[in-house]
Amino acid sequence: MIDYQAYTLPNGIRILYKHAPFTITHCCFIVNAGSRDENAGQEGLAHFIEHLLFKETERRSTSQILNRLELVGADLNAYTTKEYTCIHASLLNQHLERAMDLFEDILFHSTFPEDEQEKEKGVILDEIASYLDQPEEAIQDDFEELLFADHPMGKNILGTEESVGKMNGADIRAFINSNYSTSEMIFAVHGNYDFKKIIKLSEKYFGQVAVNKSEKKRTTPHSNQSGIHIVKKPISQTHCIIGNQAYSSSHQHKNGLLLLNNLLGGMGMSSRLNLEIREKYGIAYTIESNYTALTDTGIFSIYFGTDAEKANKASRLVHKELKKLRDQKLGTLQLHQAKEKFIGQIALAEENRMSLIISMAKSLLDFNHIDTLEDVFAKINAVTADQLLEISNEIFDIDRLITLKFEPK
């Protein structure tokens, strides 16, 4: 059964509502615009705009923006990804209208004053420097640059010192005009209301927003070139990522790879990589695998950090586990246990109501449809051992994998 309600305003902005019998509301406004939509030389622009949305608007100062929700104890935040910009807030139910008023103001009436731009450039440059000081973070960005060579998808979401330094008001307005299409925006609410009230408030605050019919000019990245890349850095440990381009969010094998990723190095201490490399050999404190499905591609990666003298053994053990999955079909019991574990984790994740409503909004943006929990479980249960073997031989193909190592100088 469908457990959400949706409505489209005349300007194309969609409203998503999921009921929850609690006193706290979680809401978000998602725009289908991210770092992959930036022009060459403007890397970091989508993230720069996200920062500046919290500065001055036509009727509010920076302090008024920040105090609008904090004065009632609400939590307000935002983030930028390769494909989305998201503003979100958690607050007591009676303050929802306050949040909607603020969202509309900062998204559609920000003035982007030059003095605030200069201040925020300094903040972002500090953020970039902070990431570069954390090899476990920096290696992910460098890996994605190898994975999506010469494509916007491979560029750092934060940008570079050079690109951030050159940004100006004209760049900001041009990006918004080209990418903030009203038909690719969703305001979503997870709270305790009558849906008619949500529609009425949405019409009041978002209904007068001018229509923007700009169309995306996204290009699909080409296949990556495999190889081993070693970078010497002033660090004490070796950090390593092994991975490949993977399936898009609409691919028939997405759920199979999600299941494989969870089995291999997902949440919990019982993943194959954790048991083999950390528990059995005591080699790496952190070892994990991740799979991110994007609209036209995906990212699969395995990360570990360990002492330099143990790094080669850790790499061999990772490849040993990948070879097992390429060569050996999961047995009936192994497959059942993997599904039970993954389904249980998904069910528990629904307790994070903010993550849930953001995930639902993204699904509505990408597919104009949201699977119920029962639909998700059914798709996972439908995955076969033969499919997992096929996926393993495609995604974990040793001749397609990229390896990036940060080694101590």
pLDDT of 195 > 60? The answer is: yes
pLDDT of 114 > 80? The answer is: yes
Cα-Cα-Cα-Cα torsion 395, 396, 400, 402, nearest 10 degrees, comes to: 110
pLDDT of 54 > 70? The answer is: yes
pLDDT in the model for residue 1: 54
- The per-residue pLDDT for range 220-273, each reduced to its tens digit, is 999 988 999 999 999 999 999 999 999 999 999 999 999 999 999 988 888 999
Put the strands of the sheet holding 402-408 in their side by side order: 227-233, 402-408, 238-246, 298-306, 286-293
Beta bridge partners of 292: 299
**Helix 385-395 with 311-327: angle, nearest 10 deg:** 140
| C-alpha span between 224 and 151 (Å, rounded) | 11
pLDDT in the model for residue 268: 81
* Average pLDDT of span 330-343: 97
pLDDT in the model for residue 51: 97
Residues 204 and 98 sit within 8 Å (Cβ to Cβ): no
* Average pLDDT of span 11-39: 97
- Report the percent of the chain where pLDDT is more than 70: 100
- The per-residue pLDDT for range 3-21, each reduced to its tens digit, is 899 999 999 999 999 999 9
pLDDT in the model for residue 132: 85
pLDDT in the model for residue 181: 97
pLDDT of 2 > 80? The answer is: no
pLDDT band at 204 (very low <50, low <70, confident <90, very high): very high
Q: Concatenate the DSSP letters of all residues of 236-286 into one string.
A: SSEEEEEEEEE--TT-TTHHHHHHHHHHHH-SSS-SHHIIIIIIIT---SE
pLDDT band at 217 (very low <50, low <70, confident <90, very high): confident
- The per-residue pLDDT for range 379-409, each reduced to its tens digit, is 999 999 999 999 999 999 999 999 999 999 8
* Average pLDDT of span 163-190: 97
Placement of tokens 């070139």 in the chain:
225
| C-alpha span between 210 and 206 (Å, rounded) | 9
* Average pLDDT of span 80-86: 98
pLDDT band at 331 (very low <50, low <70, confident <90, very high): very high
| C-alpha span between 189 and 162 (Å, rounded) | 38
Angstrom distances, CA of residue 96 to CA of 105, 108, 285, 351: 14, 18, 43, 21
The SS3 assignment for 8 reads strand
pLDDT in the model for residue 3: 87
**Six token digits for residue 378:** 């059914």
**Six token digits for residue 73:** 């104890």
pLDDT of 56 > 90? The answer is: yes
Residues 227 and 402 sit within 8 Å (Cβ to Cβ): yes
Exposed, middle or buried: residue 70 (CB in 10 Å: 0-12, 13-18, 19+)? exposed
- The per-residue pLDDT for range 121-175, each reduced to its tens digit, is 999 999 999 988 899 999 999 999 999 999 999 999 999 999 999 999 999 999 9
Q: Please enumerate in sequence order all residues whose Cβ is within 8 A of that of 162, keeping only pairs 6 or more positions apart, or say none.
A: none
For the whole prediction, is pTM greater than 0.85?
yes
Write down all domains in the chain, each with its CATH number in brackets.
5-206 (3.30.830.10), 227-408 (3.30.830.10)
